[in-house]
Amino acid sequence: MPQVELLKIFMASPSDVVKERRYVIEVIDEINRTIAPNKGVMLQVVRSEENVFPGYNSEGGQAVLNAQIANMEEYALFVGIMWNRVGTPTPRAESGTVEEFERAISAFERKGQPLIWFYFREAPTQLNTEGELEQRRKVLSFKNRIQPRALIRDYKNSSNFRDEFRNHITLWLNKRQLPLTIDQLWQQLADKATCNDRIGLVLADVLDLGSEYQNCVRLGSNIRFEVNLENAGYLLLLDKGTSGKVYCLCPSGYAPEPQVPAGLTVLPQSCSSRKSIKVTGNLGLEQLVAVIAKNKPDINWLQEGSKAPLQLRENHLKVLLDYLKESSDCRVIYMEFTVTA
pLDDT in tens, 167-190: 999 999 999 877 788 999 999 999
The span from the CA of 251 to the CA of 111, in Å, is 26
The span from the CA of 115 to the CA of 122, in Å, is 23
How deeply is 109 buried, as exposed, middle or buried, from its count of CB atoms within 10 A (0-12, 13-18, 19+)? exposed
Sign of the torsion formed by the C-alpha atoms of 117, 122, 127 and 130:
positive
Closest CA to 331 of 297, 295, 290: 290
Question: What are the distances in angstroms from CA 236 to CA 31, 252, 304?
Answer: 42, 10, 12
Are 87 and 131 a contacting pair, CB within 8 Å?
Answer: no
Distant-in-sequence, close-in-space partners of 210: CB < 8 Å, separation ≥ 6 = none
> Percentage of residues in the chain with pLDDT exceeding 90?
82
Closest CA to 220 of 143, 136, 277, 137: 277
DSSP, collapsed to helix, strand or coil, labels residue 62 as: helix
Are 267 and 237 a contacting pair, CB within 8 Å?
Answer: yes
What is the structure's pLDDT at 176? 85
What is the structure's pLDDT at 1? 41
Phi, psi for residue 328 in degrees, rounded to 5: -105, -5
Tens-place pLDDT, residues 12-61: 999 999 999 999 999 999 999 999 998 889 999 999 999 999 999 999 99
What is the structure's pLDDT at 203? 87
Indicate if the pLDDT at residue 140 is higher than 50: yes
Q: Which amino acid, one-letter code, is at 22?
A: R
What is the structure's pLDDT at 68? 94
Indicate if the pLDDT at residue 262 is higher than 50: yes
Q: Which amino acid, one-letter code, is at 79?
A: V
